[in-house]
Structure 1
């Protein structure tokens, strides 16, 4: 709840609030650095608190556990949240323009490039802690929740299918980027400058995301 002064204006943050924000940001930043450097299973809460110079009690004032910290890192420190990428897609699909979708695929792949260091941590967390599956599931649901116009163009009885198609798109883009840019196990040089990766992916996904026209 926002604190207000006597005139009804937002009160200036006090020193304690500033310290709490500073500590939270330090936990996020150091947690991210350690996860990237050592991998998620090899980092403990004690490692993070030592890096920050705070106690475990302070850590638990901000986060429930290590899984909560990772989810917060993704929500608060990634460049341009994934949800915004799919809100952008919602507007792009409404245009019905294939060329706009190609440009969106380029932007989506750029998002992966900007956040590539932290991406493997999610797979590591899922493998190490089955409970993280619920957090991963929620993150996917957030993406389709950001696409109300797309969902509303589908018959209500097929909203589950519409969501599933977006989830498959998310999965393919992530796996393509991981294999091509992180692992180096897939490569596409193209048949010429006119056929980019984004264009090939758009050929597959633009028609797959179109709502049915016979219902």
Structure 2
């Protein structure tokens, strides 16, 4: 039986039955593979890491790897999905409430928290950029992660007229892009020296009015 066929058979056995010790072991192995892959991606980048490197780090076989993931890109996609879901559930759901409050001071505080999210995840950011450049299929993963952010902001979207919903989403996407590029240039590359609360104030000055619904 091929590795892929074994993976299909194994996944098919999991539907609708009580969790067993075998299931617990599989879950631990999956977590170990994700942890090992993330560490390798951070240390060496996306392109140079192989499936063999990941399995060697965990001490399992390629067949075991393919029970859980379709390949290296799938591993990074799962890491990205879990990280971005946390971002949507936390940072941008928080933004939805901040914008509903109408408080500019709260928005400034939110910018600080949003930049802190980038700081806590800074090690994996270059891997995402590298994968986006190397794997055209990974672009769909990146796109979904952006869509999930605006999906976490229903109150913000509800304040915009139906005919301008796409514009409302685009404004959030531009905000995400600027925060990411600002963080990369200031904290990672060191090419922007304006940081801290002063930077948050200026970013809020740009984005707080830009995210207000018409009227």
Deviations 1:160-197 (A, max 9, x none): 0000000000000001001100111111168xxxx621
User: How far apart, in 2, do the equivalents of 1:197 and 1:71 lie?
Assistant: 32
Cα distance in 1 for residues equivalent to 2:77 and 2:95: 23
Question: In the alignment, which residue of structure 1 is the partner of 2:108?
Answer: 102
Aligned match for 2:86, one of 81, 91, 96: 81
Equivalent residue for 1:152? 158
TM-score (ref. length: structure 1): 0.88
Match of 2:77 in 1: 71
**2:3 corresponds to:** none
Kindly report structure 1 stretches of 4+ aligned residues shifted beyond 3 Å: 1-4
Q: What SS does the aligned partner of 1:184 have?
A: coil
Structural RMSD (CA): 1.7
If the length of structure 2 is used for normalisation, what is the TM-score? 0.88
1:197 and 2:196 aligned? no
Cα distance, 1:3 vs structure 2: 4.9
Which residues of 2 match residues 1-215 of structure 1 at below 5 A? 3=17, 13-76=19-82, 78=83, 81-83=86-88, 84-188=90-194, 196-213=198-215
5+ residue gaps, structure 1: 5-12
More helix by share: 2
- Conserved? CA contact 1:36–1:118, under 8 Å: yes
State the 1:74 CA deviation.
Answer: 2.6
Map Cα deviations across residues 50-75 of structure 1 (whole Å, 9 max, x no partner): 11111222222212222221121133
Higher RCO, 1 vs 2 (CA within 8 Å, ≥6 residues apart): 2
